[in-house]
Structure 1
Amino acid sequence: MTNDMTTGNPVKLILYFSIPLLIGNIFQQFYSMVDTIIVGRFLGVKALAAVGSTGSLTFLIIGFVLGLTSGFSVLVSQRFGANDEEGLKKAVASATVLSIVMAIIITIISLFAAKPLLRLMNTPDDIINSAYSYIIVIFAGTFATFFYNMLSSILRALGDSKTPLYFLIVASLLNIVLDLVFIVNFSMGVAGAAYATVIAQGVSGVLCFVYISKKLPILKLEKKHFKIEIEYIKEHLRIAIPMALQFSITAIGAVILQSAVNAFGSTVVAAHTAASKVEQLAVQPSVTFGVTMATYCAQNLGAGNIERIKEGVKKCTMINVIIGIIAGCLLVFFGESFIKLFVSNTDPKVIAYAKQYLFIVSFFFIPLSLIFIYRNALQGMGYTFVPMMAGVYELLARTLVAFTLPSLVGYAGICLAGPLAWIAASVPLILDYLKKINVLLNSPEEYSVNASS
């Protein structure tokens, strides 16, 4: 099933695409949330801290993978919007080859770098061994992450957000069962949670592959499509590498922030872990509309519908601002209830620190929601430099705040690092989008599906 987003009511199309994607994103969050809940309740606060201390490191590697696969799908979406079936198949084939090569390279690098990075992050001595046993399994399963995200990105590039949802539901339920079996029945500790995550994601990838093979003749590739064409390789890398770097730059900021959190000890690490999981769930609607913008803008750029891109981004911005306000209110009034999902003994210190984090960040969800819209809109149109640089500004702001404010205001300084970084990133993204869309509207000769930054 495909979905042409170049015709019809933009708001209806955006909502039609976004709702299944939102449900899918929420289920995808269950991969990490279920791990965290089960680990916290069955293995204790230190085990929860161990898994939490690897979160930013996981994002450093997995985020790079997500950036690459999202970048590879942009050209696919543009070719689909331009009704170029042969070009679409070549784009998919070249993306497949690049994904296999990059999966091998990233897996090798991450496995060797895991322990040194944990030490570099000042991971507390009482949790570092457990943290390593968790992260090494996640990194070893990088191919499963690549496999699922590449195939689901291709499906979304064609406007199909429902099929990946169905497979994620199956995988999420499998993840819950495997978590309980590996941790409770087999006593595998935190490594059991990691194995459950990797296996579940691998299953969702296999299901995507079977579906594409049987149901989408437009993606039936032949040997000729895998012939290396430098044009497609260069275009994929031109878009995907900056997107991957943007993810990794953001992740480096998270690693630096985690290092600052680690200095407060395992109790604060556990609190920050629980609060971060709640925050990630709360912002999923905003994330969803951002991902939708990438596909929407890419397809309409391929079709030459620049005015339609502007209309869709405007409407999606309004939706995301409202979502940001609602999400912030939910965390202010109900944050403690969500936090208690992660901690079995309702440790008062853990809950207090976690509530403080959620209270502070909830007031800054509007700039965060704008980042998702404008970053993805620019990337969908093929402009990747400023989104990457926005990640750099975010990194610099997060680092500066994380290592200055805590000495003045304690843990509250850690809580402010993210929000101030979101403001630093959102401003250049919005300004660059306004500049680029006006150029395309006022100078049609500037339009090209191979838009340069």
Structure 2
Amino acid sequence: MGISPIRRNTLAVSTPAHQRDLTNGPVAKTLFVFALPSLGVNILQSLNHSVNSVWIGQFLGEEALAASANAGLIMFLMFSTLFGFTMATTILIGQNMGRRDIESVRRIMGTAFGIFFVAGVVFAAAGWIFAPHMLRLMATSESVYPLALSYLRVIFLTMPATFVMILISSSLRGVGDSVTPFWNTVLNVVLDIILNPIFILGWGPIPAMGIAGSALATILAGVVSLGLLLRKVYALDLTIRLRGDELKWLRPDPRYLKPIARMGLPMGLSMIIMSGSAVVMIGLVNLEGVNTTAAFGVMNQLWSYVQMPAVAVGAAVSAMVAQNIGANKWDRVSHIVWSGIGINLLMSGVLIAMMTYFASPLLGLFLPNDSPAIPLAIHINHIVGWSFVLMGVSVVVTFAVRANGAVVAPLLILIFSAVLVRFSVGFGLYDRFGADAIWSSFIATSIASCILSIAYYLHGGWKKAKAMPSMAAVPLQAMPE
């Protein structure tokens, strides 16, 4: 006789101090507090990249800095693909956490952990072998190539640990804990910043390793922080941990693997499309000369901070919506989405206003005070800057509908807005309006994306989508191990 399905939902589990129940309490306050640590993670990661670039540039020179930039492009593409599968796992964990189906949460975690670790090993081996070919495809200059190859190959060795750490951090957010990933990121960033100059220049018995030392510092920081994160997961008996017989769930289960792949592929593809669209537009910017390219490059650095609230709030909305869908509390879903939009409008609006008001001193951090690129950058920001408010709305709404497994429509909206609309305006009007056609293409993209995303949220069929059917009603004896 089958075991009662009720048992699946009544597994004993303690509620850690940092884990929030996202299905109860005031929506706006819960969302804001839950999103803040994720915003902190984004800021810390950007600062870490900037500081490491300073170490490399100051100690090793322009060629080493160019080498790390070339390697960074390859890694960004790789993590863009990983992003989709990470988000899919978080959504599935969130929905089952909303149902209080702790066993399914752990089964999903086991399947994802097994796949992510194996994928990390495969990527590390393939990256080590094919790194020369990837750099050649990017037309890396001969003076930079040896440094880029050394850096990239060492960085590839971090893949197993990095993939697993990203998975654990994202899964913790799925169960309502955004604080633990934040403190783990603080540790990772501090270690990486401290170890970089030590391994680049050498210290005591540690030899000077140059740019390979920077990569090795990243490996050590990642391994140490991952080890301590795993220790915390088990020491505090966090919800996603696997013990005893549960360890057999590390063998991927097709019932959980299929929805991860079904949602992960379109979401990963969306990141690749966004990156590819930006690269194509940079080619058009380059036609305007070095000053325009420098101005646009610096503004991109500043705009990256403006976009951080949207990404953090969007991720929080996704986890919160997923849990409430799992708990069948659809009345809260709409409140969550509109609260997320409001919070993002406020945060992004303040950042854009501050960036516009303090444009000159901010640009002076990157460019000489008499640089002709500064007035160009100010002009670009006046045209494009406000559009990030609209883009933030699109991000929040897209994260929300994905939380129910609706991933194809957001991908089609992205293709239409970031490819068809952007290229039509940018290339189609370039001969007549020059650089202003390029900046206008970003505005057109934001407007199209915002309108279509809201229209799909209000009138589309995303509520009928299913990230994954509930496994709570399936008797355990009917489930193959």
Matched, 1:251 2:285: no
**CA separation of 1:238 and 1:251: change in aligned 2, threshold 3 A:** same
Note the alpha carbon deviations across 1:163-199, whole angstroms, 9 max, x for none: 1111111111122223333445577555554444444
Pick the structure with more helix per residue. Answer: 1
Determine which of 200, 203, 208 is the counterpart of 2:221.
200
For 1:52-451, list aligned pairs within 5 A. Answer: 52=69, 56-108=73-125, 110=127, 134-183=151-200, 191-221=212-242, 222-260=246-284, 272-342=296-366, 348-349=371-372, 351=374, 354-393=377-416, 394-400=418-424, 415-436=439-460, 440=463, 446=464, 450=468
Q: Deviations over 1:32-58 (max 9, x none)?
A: 222334445555566555545655543
Partners of 1:74 and 1:298 within 8 A in 2: yes
1:296-342 deviations in Å (ceiling 9; x for gaps)? 11100100111100011011112212222222212212234334444
Number of residue-to-residue matches in the alignment: 445
2:406/2:467 contact within 8 Å kept? no
> Does the 8 A contact of 2:406 with 2:466 survive in 1?
no
Shift of 1:263: 6.4
TM-score by length of 1: 0.84
Q: In structure 2, what is the Cα distance between the partners aligned to 1:206 and 1:435?
A: 46
Amino acid at match of 1:156: R
Task: Tell me how far 1:398 sits from its aligned partner.
Answer: 4.4
Gaps of at least 5 residues in structure 2 are 1-15, 470-481
Larger Rg: 2
Distance 1:401 1:110, change over 3 A: farther
- 1:112/1:427 CA distance change after superposition, 3 Å: farther
Name which of structure 1's ranges 262-271 and 383-392 shifts more when overlaid on structure 2.
262-271
Separation (CA, whole Å) in 1 of partners of 2:239 and 2:196: 37
Q: CA contact under 8 A between 1:124 and 1:265: conserved in structure 2?
A: no
CA distance in 1, matches of 2:377, 2:70: 15
Give yes or no for the alignment of 1:23 onto 2:47: no
Separation in structure 1 between the aligned mates of residue 48 and residue 365 of structure 2, nearest angstrom: 15
The answer (yes or no) to whether the contact 2:20–2:177 under 8 Å persists in 1 is yes
Q: Return the offset for 1:291.
A: 0.7
User: What is the root-mean-square deviation in Å for CA atoms of aligned residues?
Assistant: 3.4
* More deviation, 28-37/267-276: 267-276
- 1:443 maps to what in 2? none
- Given that 1:121 and 1:255 are in contact with CA atoms closer than 8 Å, whether structure 2 keeps it comes out as no
Identity rate of aligned residues, in percent?
28
Partner of 1:32: 49
Distance 1:18 1:42, change over 3 A: same
AA aligned opposite 2:232:
Y
Question: Conserved in 1, the CA contact under 8 Å of 2:405 and 2:465?
Answer: no
Encode CA deviations 1:381-423: one digit per residue, 9 max, x unaligned: 2211122223323244445556566666555555555444333
Aligned mates of 1:318, 1:204 — CA distance in 2: 34
Change (3 A) 1:143 1:417: farther
Cα gap change, 1:147/1:405 in structure 2, threshold over 3 Å: closer, same or farther?
farther
Structure 1 unpaired stretches of 5+: 441-445
Counterparts in 2 of 1:104 and 1:324: CA distance versus 1, 3 Å: same
Is the 8 Å Cα contact of residues 76 and 88 (structure 1) preserved in structure 2? yes
Deviation at 1:349, TM superposition (A): 4.9
Distance across 2 between alignment mates of 1:46 and 1:98: 37
Is the alpha carbon distance of 1:101 and 1:190 closer, same or farther for their aligned partners in structure 2, counting shifts above 3 Å?
same
